[in-house]
Amino acid sequence: MTQKNILEIDDISLELGGKRILNHLSMDIWGGHVHAVVGPNGAGKSTLASTVMGLNGYRHFEGDIRFEGQSIKAMNIDERARLGITMAWQEPARYEGLTVEKFILAGARDACSHTVERALQTLGLDPAKYAQRAVDKTLSGGERKRVELASIVAMRPRLVIMDEPDSGIDVEALNRIFDALKILKEYGATVILITHSMTVLKQADHAFLLCCGGVLDKGGIDKIETFFGRQCKACDHQNEPEPEEVYAE
């Protein structure tokens, strides 16, 4: 069965600080699926996410990125967001003076209080306790990550990039994030998971293994998870993955 691509990353290369971080990297991202991107530290995973999102400093690259057949190479982050591309950060931002409710409603497809309640409940947050709290340092990192994902659920984007979604959270919060993944998939969203975690990898339908800025391997989870078993596919990279950093849950 032929899969329909929502995102096509076509032979992109990117240099930062005089060092090539992405090296002729190509990927086809199927619409409506959850894709994982794994690899050793320094493989280019987070750089790839920043480049697809169009962050400042990551827009001058060789090659092309197409979203639903349209090149987005020249688009800034706001223009890409209007197409339905969004990102959940490894370290979510703080917004002094902005309540959780207003933060969620700012990008919600249906801007009503019921939308806020549903989104917060999906992430295991009691609306009565969280809706009027500020998105600032009074929230823990894990709480901010869940609030950010609640806003993305309310947004109903076309493509979501999640950078290390399990970073700095407990098991209960991680299970709630997996609930959010299911909701996003039901809405028809496509998700890219940037991860070091076997647990997170297993939530995906398909995965890419990155090394030295390129795609070393791709396929089903059963195929790619051997990387996490410290059986990285043989290549000409002189360094092996760092077990204590790559395989930690």
Query: Which domains occur in the chain, in start order?
Result: 5-233 (3.40.50.300)
Distance CA 81, CA 50 (A): 13
Average pLDDT over residues 76-99: 82
Least confidently predicted of 89-103, 185-199, 211-225: 89-103
| DSSP assignment of 87-115 | EE-SS---EEEEEHHHHHHHH-SS-SHHH
**Eight-class DSSP state of 42:** T
pLDDT in tens, 179-217: 999 999 999 999 999 988 888 999 999 999 998 999 989
**CA separation, residue 191 to residues 50, 129, 180, 229, 244 (Å):** 15, 29, 11, 24, 27
Task: Decide if 25 contacts 15 (C-beta within 8 A).
Answer: no
Q: With 80 as the cut, is the pLDDT of residue 59 above it?
A: yes
SS3 state of residue 40: coil
Structure confidence at residue 70 (pLDDT): 96
Rounded to two decimals, the pTM is: 0.87
| Mean pLDDT over the full length of the chain | 86
- Residue 173: count other Cβ atoms within 10 Å of its Cβ: 21
